[in-house]
Amino acid sequence: MARSVFFSFHYQRDIWRVNTVRNHFVTRGGYNQSGYWDHSLWEEVKKDGELALKRLIDKGLQGTSVTVVLIGAETAQRGWVNYEIEKSYERGNGMLGIYIHNIGNREGQKDYRGANPFDNFRVVEKKREIVFLSDIKPMSAIYPTYDWVANDGYNNFSTWVENAAKAAGK
């Protein structure tokens, strides 16, 4: 079954690498064969201020079951990526991260591996009246990350998305 996927990433630095991942469905025979529908917002322009961008992100997340964070060198420091992760968590989306630093840019240059943006968040796994410190986990302990090149994302992406959706009960 094709999943509806929202892609979160740092546009300015990583768009070339991001498009390698987002467009791999073309050589896989289309959306249905690749196992996902792209709900990314990268085509939209940041023109009407913060509130308009939040609305755009919220609208882009509607109807999605999985959020894929494409992790470049500076992704973890991007406020909008953090907003997208927070809203995805609130929606109950399955989530995963994919390191894209090993994908060559337009000139074929690789980048350095950035920090895991899931490390920016802590969540309580079990709700109780008293919260034990052992119940507080970084999101990075909950949501898996992969390397597009080292983990053969071209052939494994749809499996990663499906596993994330199932882990979220979607």
Structural domain total, the chain: 1
Q: Determine the structural domain holding residue 133 and report its residue range.
A: 3-167
C-alpha distances in angstroms, 30 versus 26, 27, 38, 49, 67?
Answer: 5, 7, 11, 34, 19
Average pLDDT over the chain reads 86
What CATH number is attached to the domain comprising 107? 3.40.50.450
Q: What is the pLDDT of residues 144-162, one digit of tens each?
A: 999 999 999 999 999 999 9
Query: Is it the case that residue 143 has pLDDT exceeding 80?
Result: yes
The predicted model scores a pTM of: 0.86
23: region left, alpha or beta (phi > 0 left; psi from -120 to 50 alpha) = alpha
Q: What is the mean pLDDT of residues 115-136?
A: 85
Query: Do strands 136-138 and 122-124 pair parallel, antiparallel, or not at all (unpaired)?
Result: antiparallel
